[in-house]
Amino acid sequence: MPATLHLQPEREKSVLRRHPWIFSKGIARVEGKAAIGETVAVRAADGRFLGWAAYSPESQIRARIWSLDEQAVIDQAFFEQKLRQADALRQHLLLRQQTTGYRLVAAESDGLPGITIDRYGPYLVLQLLSAGAEYHRQTLVAALQMLYPDCLIYERSDADVRHKEGLKPVKGPLVGAAPAAPVAIDELGLKLLVDIENGHKTGFYLDQRDNRAIAADYCTGGRVLNCFSYTGGFGLAALRGGASEVVNVDASEGALELARHSLALNPQLDASRAQFLKADVFKLLRWYRERGEQFDTIILDPPKFADSKAQLMGACRGYKDINMLAMQLLKPGGTLLTFSCSGLMPSDLFQKIVADAALDAGRDAQILRFLRQSEDHPVAIHYPEGLYLKGLVLRVL
């Protein structure tokens, strides 16, 4: 018999509202023994069955709901059904955008807590970030092999968040060999290289696909500064949009080198209009300000500044600083595309920070568009935490 989590009185409300997380403070007692990641029954204080969940004794998120159906069995068939559903929901995206790189499974928002799966051409890149996901590793891989028999599977479960679940980082091939070179994907008429083994996240920022397409519309004929450029996705989009010059800036020479190789795969773009600078963005923006440099469009896509609530205040200062500097470098009427991928940063707070940055820069600004993660990164309606990427397109006056 599986172990049972009995909740404190009134703590069943979030489960009844279909939120997938149960926190440690909401649990009254555990009946029976459960190994880390094992499936347990969840019951309300009055004994009502609420759902099946993955048990994580070392995390503040003590359990993550797999299913609310008492008849459900968390086995290979369960994972196959979830994978089929996730795949079906993305088929219209693939037909419309003709992309070979996309998020197949977006964790809790696709009903698979702690499981992220990105597809890059023939590769499925698997990220298991919860105890339950780790527990079902072999079952999940078997389900993927059943549905995608021609795909190679590589694991990138090397994110720091695994430590909170009592798990060690894991990285390496699961099915087939590791890629011998970066993998090329198609995205809206461009070819992009992805470093599956050592790149950020699972290798690439698929969540910015739609925003890269939008950015191209604000770069025509202008001088563009692409900050935190990583492997140059926004830079290529800017060139496709007709930018007269694109300066890509990143602290990683490896990322910039991959960006150069990606540009070479797109002969329709004028490579003479692109520059690649290895630099600290904060220092470079100040240096540009001292020199009186100006740009028509600036893109700010920094890495996550806050991994915990304790880091949120520092993150606010960082976002304010880079946005202030960027606004000071824009020509009157220039465009700023600015983003935060910190899930702990609420959208309204991010907008306030950018507004404060405009005040400090002595500039006024208008919001032209609100930006979010691409549609293959959906947000389950009962799981608002799934919305982590937020952005603004601003006209800076």
Q: What are phi and psi of 337, to 5 degrees?
A: -105, 115
Helix (H) or strand (E) holding 152: strand 152-157
Are 28 and 6 in contact by the 8 Å Cβ rule? The answer is yes
- Would you state the structure tokens that stand for residue 313, as one six-digit string? 């205040």
Angle, CA of 89, 90 and 96, to the nearest 5°: 125
Cα–Cα dist 63/59, whole Å: 8
Residue type, 152: L
Of the candidates 346, 281, 289, which has an alpha carbon nearest to the alpha carbon of residue 318?
281
Are 188 and 234 in contact by the 8 Å Cβ rule? The answer is no
Task: List alpha helices for 272-346, DSSP H.
Answer: 281-291, 312-329
Helix (H) or strand (E) holding 217: none
Residue 316 appears among annotated catalytic residues: no
Which of the residues are catalytic? 341
